[in-house]
Structure 1
């Protein structure tokens, strides 16, 4: 039984402001409109939050534009100190923030706490980067002049975050924007707005000036954000979400030639060669597959295992997956929480059914869980044919499809046979093979003998249709900076 009481659940939800945050003030949406936030484990309504209209969006952009010039001149050290204070507040309140996230998103409390710590690290990292924005000075090749290179904030930025990591995806975008001196309008996903509203409150406490951050919660994402993109005053869009939505946003951004950062879908291959440490490979597979209940763009989507160890790997993975406790994320010992909504359940069920009908064998799972909530059993499939839909589509759920390969070339070809290129995973103890395969894989990130790649200090992002640009690392702040060159005559 859980030690989390209903009273405490109510308290953490009630502690969060439910209005829009515009120009440093909490304000209701136009005509007082609201929409419900649901607990995916029970279907119950947690609360109602403000439902922004296009007019509210315009007001938020007005506030960001009005604050931009003064914020750009704010001392870098103080911008960094605001982030540092925000980092400490996140760490200090990790337990309550984790519970809030579990209630609105479903992931188990232990994972939610881990995300709060991970989210906080983006603030700490970019607090340090704020004072390291540099430029350059050079002598012209003919010796008759000098080149000055100066970095300036790109300007008011539009940020759109997903539901699966509702706090970390916020700090990963807000952190570099604050450090660079950009004002923001941010729109969290309608399924998980509470974490972002809590984060806005924390940044107010940390000393962020009025108008720098503006938060729009809305059930009409396209209707509210498209006019802001086409307005022309915002100069940057950073989006994390599906490739299909990303394509539409890129079309909209083209009209005003906005700078874009796109962290889009994934279809991560997980390669296990016959010389791999099987124990380590299974551990890594569990991390890469089951982090966030499989609802992650970095989740291992396609397992390719060399024939000599394929049966043993499948057996061990099946044992581990079948033993995972399922339940509401607030309950003690639960590892697998609910998927985010009914649409997610329907998609995962459809993909597994399609694979089974095409000849795949279900080793464990393969069905929804009876009762309230959006629960799906951890599932392992073998003999997955190439034409199965889940061989090509992002699963976003606790399903591990296994295929067998014989040669290195066959494995790499299969891994690269996708429009996506976010992350790949490789398990081998052969150093030469590791270097060959890593260089041949078409992915922006590779986990070599490890199942988690995300780190605030490293550049996160993909190639092909997995996105544009990078978040985190030393390059993350560059996405919010423009380079100005000054020619000086002597």
Structure 2
């Protein structure tokens, strides 16, 4: 188990000592990892900046092959990586194994995209001149990842950055640093040159990240986390006009219309709500159910939620936050709603009905296994309530009428829509939101573009 910083291809201690990593299921310490200081940060940026020219000049096929080998290594070591995710993050081994498979796909997808970076040549409308464009890597990238998908959030950023020819400094979340360190080791074994990827761990990220964004050598920022922190980072990135992409908070509506297959809707709801025990930005946050089927849907959802075992949240702060929101929700708790008394940071699957539309459960991201149910009268009511939030990451719609579903999808203010599906994430699809849920897209054909700049050459012959 790697616990030191990874800088310029070497494992080095942190200049600020170390900090503990806890097992959420027991609240016990797993191990301690290095705490990076400002001198470590400078060393990492220096290494990435020095490695950038040669890595950018590396033929795309060579970059591609390193990512392909990393994909193969992740699949070969899937059980080992999954066990580590379960240990430090608390998700079930089955969910962790699925995450590793999903995470590895980002390495394979961007291995394929590395050789397809393009440009174009066209004639200007006047006919006399030519317009030539080509793309090149933006430069040293600062990658900030969250704790809820410690492998997938890392590969979703590292994959396109390396494929594009950028070098990177990766700072994983303090709750789940071990997976990122393992991925760095795996990439080194796959042949990644020294300095191309550097990993810094810390439980005091504010000062470290602020200092990084004051360094003019950082040319790209990619962040996944809360909207509140995203606003702060954008302000800091403005100092050097750092190219930024952000995947921020969500408040996903899960719309169930009166013609929906309720069994399929409940099955989708369990995926959309309970994946990662509700700790996902894509989690269904508000269940908007047509009044004519609300009682039946609620009964079926309570039954499905009751069959789910309690799982830990990431830390004590998370449990306290979810518990407080349920207590002041103003609704009727049909299931759960209280801590289980188990060791660690457990909170049970919870269903709340009769929730006012101005409740905290309607206004704020829950990030836990709580399903608040609201009734709607018609499609207009559904769209109005669904869009009544500053967030716009994902929405879900269940209906038997596909045309109706497409019409609602066009009206919903969301970057992604799950139409009769409870899972939207796919490495081949553009992941991201609108409004205050973020900037840019990750994954898909669009994902690599976040790490490229376009140069236009005006010429004629």
* Normalised-by-shorter TM-score class: over 0.9
The 5-angstrom pairing of residues 70-469 of structure 1 reads 70-326=54-310, 337-355=311-329, 358=330, 360-469=331-440
TM, length-normalised to structure 1? 0.93
1:61 and 2:45 correspond: yes
Instruction: Measure, in 2, the Cα distance between the counterparts of 1:455 and 1:42.
Output: 32
Per the alignment, residue 4 of structure 1 pairs with none
Is the 8 Å Cα contact of residues 309 and 348 (structure 2) preserved in structure 1? no
Offset, 1:282:
0.3
For 1:320 and 1:410, the matched residues in 2 are separated by 27
- What stretches of structure 2 of length at least 5 have no aligned partner? none
Alpha-carbon offset, residue 489 of structure 1: 3.0
Shift of 1:316: 0.3
Q: Tell me if the contact between 1:161 and 1:189 (Cα under 8 Å) persists in the aligned partners.
A: yes
Residue aligned with 1:46, SS = strand
Contact 2:277 2:368 in 1 (8 A): yes
Shift of residue 431, structure 1, vs aligned partner: 2.4
CA distance in 1, matches of 2:137, 2:403: 43
Mean Cα deviation higher: 233-242 or 54-63: 54-63
Deviation of 1:443 (Å): 0.1
- The alpha-carbon deviation at position 387 of structure 1 amounts to 2.2
- TM-superposed CA distance for 1:144, in Å, is 2.3
Determine if contact 1:54/1:225 at 8 Å carries over to the other structure.
Answer: no
Cα pair 2:392 2:434 within 8 Å, conserved: yes
Does structure 1 retain, via aligned residues, the 8 Å contact 2:391–2:436? yes
Which structure 1 residue ranges, 4+ long, deviate > 4 Å from structure 2? none
Deviations 1:3-53 (A, max 9, x none): xxxxxxxxxxxxx2111000111111115x000000011011100100001
Displacement, 1:325?
2.0
CA deviation vs aligned residue, 1:130-170 (integer Å, no higher than 9, x gap):
00001001122233222110000001100000000000000
**SS state of the match for residue 134, structure 1?**
coil
CA RMSD for the aligned pairs? 0.8
